[in-house]
């Protein structure tokens, strides 16, 4: 697998002056699916093609994507008649004919280049996995491969990063402006998971690098219980070994509502609650989990915490760690239930004020 991208391709993308090349590079870096979700692509464009002087370019691309031209071009090269209809659709919205021709051409070239790069990546992966050549029908081998468009690319955004609250002690000051809910912090690897419409999976780490480790995970429950989209998750066991092979869903970036409403929706989808007792008990073949709420602090600082207070919960989780012989629970994450998930499209180190992480 090629190494995940550093900040160099992102810096080069930001510095690119040619708008057509910039569109092509964005599609290659962030994947073809970003064109289907034009809001995400336009949000990325705001970051990588900012400023008043670029406003015309952004407006032109916005109109083209909102008219479905990007999605239409994804299905294949258009015929001359189809291409003319696309251009007419734009001129009917008061886009100058020469601009309509240019933006359709730029989008078509960007998609063709992205598909070419993805095909090359698949060929290289096939050669790596089959060094002696195909055994059996090559068409079946390729058809069985999951979509790996982002294998050589970075994620479309980074998992949300919590503020560092330090060690969780008896005198730890409580966050201001409550209420706050608390979830246990699991020792694991933070990842962003993309479940595609066709059931294929892409996984990136917290720095936006594509991971091959997910190929060893069983995503059966993930596909059965959750709709396509992006999911902010934790993979336990990366550091401590406990519950390796399991998946904990932390948040849903595409949900759009507050954290509390997202949590209610997630509980309806995933019945498996990772309890405050030993997590190995009676999980059977389940490997998909959500986190429990372990407490709330209201604005008047009066604690309403499960089961008695946060120190009791801390001691209880540390007893679980002793029973397991590993530090499975690392601490708590305090979360403001009225705030929404904030995507970080360009900076993995940017912190979200609505999440505060405390360690034991």
pLDDT class for 87, splitting at 50, 70, 90? very high
- What is the reported pLDDT for 252? 93
- What is the reported pLDDT for 192? 92
Task: For 189-198, give one letter per residue: b (16+ CB within 10 A) or e.
Answer: bbbbbbbeee
Q: What is the pLDDT of residues 215-244, one digit of tens each?
A: 778 888 888 889 888 999 998 876 677 778
- What is the reported pLDDT for 5? 40
What is the total residue count of the chain? 360
- What is the reported pLDDT for 167? 82
pLDDT class for 147, splitting at 50, 70, 90? very low
Question: What is the pLDDT of the chain when averaged over all its residues?
Answer: 76
Show the domains of the chain with their CATH numbers.
7-144 (no CATH), 161-359 (3.30.470.30)
User: How confident is the model over 184-213, as a mean pLDDT?
Assistant: 85
Report the percentage of the chain scoring pLDDT > 90. 11
Distance separating alpha carbons of residues 235 and 126, to the nearest angstrom: 27
Residue 127 has pLDDT above 70, yes or no: no
User: How confident is the model over 195-215, as a mean pLDDT?
Assistant: 81
> How many other CB atoms are there within 10 angstroms of residue 204's CB atom?
25
- What is the reported pLDDT for 187? 85
User: How confident is the model over 76-83, as a mean pLDDT?
Assistant: 83
- What is the reported pLDDT for 140? 39
Q: Do 297 and 179 contact (CB within 8 A), yes or no?
A: yes
pTM for this prediction: 0.57
Indicate the SS3 state at residue 4.
coil
DSSP states along 7-75: HHHHHHHHH---HHHHHHHHHHHH-THHHHSHHHHHHHHHHHS-SGGGHHHHHHHHHHHHTTHHHHHHT
User: Please, which residues bridge with residue 185 across strands?
Assistant: 331
The backbone torsions φ and ψ at residue 236, rounded to the nearest 5 degrees and listed phi first, read -65, 160
Q: Do 335 and 358 contact (CB within 8 A), yes or no?
A: no
Residue 249 has pLDDT above 90, yes or no: yes
- What is the reported pLDDT for 293? 73
- What is the reported pLDDT for 126? 55
- What is the reported pLDDT for 123? 62
Cis geometry, peptide bond prior to residue 307 (ω within 30 degrees of 0): yes
Residue with tokens 């009676």: 282
SS3 content of the chain, % helix, strand, coil (to 5): 40, 20, 40
Q: What is the pLDDT of residues 255-313, one digit of tens each?
A: 888 888 888 888 888 877 776 554 555 555 678 888 877 655 444 444 444 444 566 66
Q: What angle do CA 91, 72, 40 make, to 5 degrees?
A: 90
């Amino acid at each position: 697998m090629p190494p995940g991208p550093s900040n160099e391709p992102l810096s080069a993308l930001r510095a690119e002056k040619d708008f057509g090349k910039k569109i092509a590079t964005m599609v290659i870096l962030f994947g073809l699916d970003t064109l289907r979700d034009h809001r995400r692509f336009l949000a990325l464009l705001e970051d990588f093609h900012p400023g008043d002087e670029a406003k015309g370019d952004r407006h032109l691309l916005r109109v083209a994507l909102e008219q479905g031209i990007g999605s239409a071009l994804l299905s294949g090269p258009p015929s001359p008649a189809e291409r003319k209809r696309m251009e007419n659709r734009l001129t009917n919205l008061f886009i100058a004919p020469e601009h309509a021709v240019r933006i359709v051409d730029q989008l078509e070239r960007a998609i063709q280049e992205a598909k070419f790069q993805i095909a090359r990546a698949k060929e290289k992966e096939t050669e790596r996995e089959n060094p002696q050549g195909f055994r059996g029908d090559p068409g079946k081998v390729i058809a069985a491969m999951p979509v790996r468009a982002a294998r050589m690319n970075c994620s479309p955004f980074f998992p949300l990063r919590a503020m560092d609250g330090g060690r969780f002690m008896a005198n730890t000051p409580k966050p201001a402006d409550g209420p706050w809910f608390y979830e246990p912090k699991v020792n694991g690897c933070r990842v962003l998971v993309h479940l595609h419409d066709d059931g294929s999976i892409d996984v990136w780490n917290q720095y936006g690098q594509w991971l091959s480790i997910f190929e060893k995970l069983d995503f059966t429950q993930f596909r059965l219980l959750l709709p396509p989209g992006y999911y902010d998750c934790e993979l336990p066991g990366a550091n401590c070994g406990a519950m390796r092979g399991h998946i904990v869903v932390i948040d849903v970036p595409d949900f759009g509502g507050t954290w509390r409403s997202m949590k209610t929706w997630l509980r309806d989808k995933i019945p498996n609650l990772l309890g405050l007792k030993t997590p190995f008990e009676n999980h059977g073949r389940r490997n998909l989990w959500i986190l429990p709420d372990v407490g709330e602090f209201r604005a008047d600082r009066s604690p309403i915490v499960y089961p008695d207070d946060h120190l009791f919960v801390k001691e209880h989780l540390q007893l679980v760690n002793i029973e397991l012989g590993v530090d499975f629970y690392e601490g708590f994450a305090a979360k403001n239930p009225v705030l929404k998930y904030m995507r970080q499209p360009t900076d993995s180190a940017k912190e979200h004020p609505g999440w505060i992480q405390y360690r034991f």
